Every structure is written in C-alpha cells, then in structure tokens.
Amino acid sequence: MRRPVLSALAVMGIGMAAFQQPARAEGTMATPAAAVEAREEPGKKIAIFAGGCFWGIEAVFSHLKGVSSVVSGYHGGDKKTAIYDVVGNGNTGHAEAVRVTYDPAKIRYDQLLRVFFAVGANPTQLNYQGPDHGTQYRNALVPMSVEQKRVAAGYLAQLKRLDLWKQPIVTAVEPYKAFYPAEGYHQDFAANNPDHGYIRRWDAPKVRALKTMFPDLYKPMFTRN
C-alpha cells in the first residue's frame, strides 16, 4: 500500500478521509531496559533504523534528548533506485529508514533500541507496518559498529526470551550497505505537516506515546535538519 502523498492537497491533509480516524498509538509496548548496555567511545555516533514509514520513525527519534540529527532515506538497495516512487514498487531492496546522529554521553544506543521497539515499530510485522505493505516497509536494525551489532543482538535476544508480543519477532539485523537521503520534502515531514492526515492518524500518536512512556528521554522540540 502506498501512502497518499504529496499532491498539494495531500500535504495539507485535504481529501484524506480514509486517514481521518481517531488518532491512537498503534502497537506500543512497555519494553524493558536493555540487559546489554552500549559502551561506545565519546563523540557523536550514527545509527540506522528501518521501521515502516520513515515519517513516523523520524518524528520519534527527533524528539529524543541527545539526538542532533535524523535524516529520512533509503537503505539496502542501489543509488540509482533510491527514489521514492521507485522504492515504492517494493523490488529495489531498499527499506525506508532513518539515519540518527546521537551523543552516547546523553543517550545510549541500547536506549535508542528500547524506544524503537516501544513506540516506533512492531517487530512482529514482516514487510509491513500498520497500513503500509511491501519490503520497503520492513523493520530492521543496521549496526554501524561492532559495539552496535553486539548490543542489537543482545536486545533482540532479550525481547525474544520475554515473548512480549506473543508472536515471533521478525526484525532483521542487516549489514550496512549505503544510506541515501530521501527527497527534501520527506525531511522533517511531521514537523512541517502536522495536520497531514497520515501524520495525525499514525505518527503523532507515536510521539505522544514517547512522551508518556519515556519522560526522561523526551524533548518537546523537534530536531530539524
């Protein structure tokens, strides 16, 4: 399923009756603190997450303390196919993803993982999230270092042992290939289009859930690029 995007009417949230349902957070989960904590060297780090529509994942991470940049983009395919309308065909190998720049002295990688699984993506949904279906909407972790890979594997194993979702976790750990920033109109999308029907229905509830579930990590200001 393709999101009804980016005509002038859609960006204003007009003509989208199918998405004007009462907003509620989909699939939030009270995830535990990680048993395997990240031990990263000082200095800004980068993490990549794929969790369905990148608008919502960008919005969630953009409201976290210690995060200085969140870029929406494509990971897993080739540069020539890193185009929104092409990725939407579902056969490019790309996933809609976000590149998060963070300070591990303020927020650790394992805390980013905890938030991601709590309010960002449902790890039991294979090649879809909510209303969006296709391989481009798969949920995946893309470690950018040996330490991130260690922590990601530890947290996934922890979640699987706990059986919180009562369905198998299908989140993949994918090797980094290349990240291609999405088109400019996708960047800061939730901040620029708060009344867009899709944002109101699916993504604003995630941010509200973040504020409620992680008050110590939440910041009200959206981190713009």
Residue 69 backbone phi and psi in degrees, to 5: -160, 140
Q: Which positions are catalytic?
A: 53
Q: How far apart are the first and last CA of the chain?
A: 28
Structure tokens at 119: 């309010």
Rounded Cα distance, 1 and 85, in Å:
12
3 state DSSP class of 46:
strand
Rounded Cα distance, 221 and 202, in Å:
19
- Number of continuous H segments (helices) and E segments (strands) in the chain: 8, 8
Q: With contact defined as beta carbons under 8 Å apart, do 112 and 99 qualify?
A: no
Q: With contact defined as beta carbons under 8 Å apart, do 144 and 45 qualify?
A: yes
Structure tokens at 192: 């620029």
Helix or strand holding residue 152 (H, E)? helix 146-162
Structure tokens at 129: 């999230």
3 state DSSP class of 86:
helix
* DSSP designation for 34: P
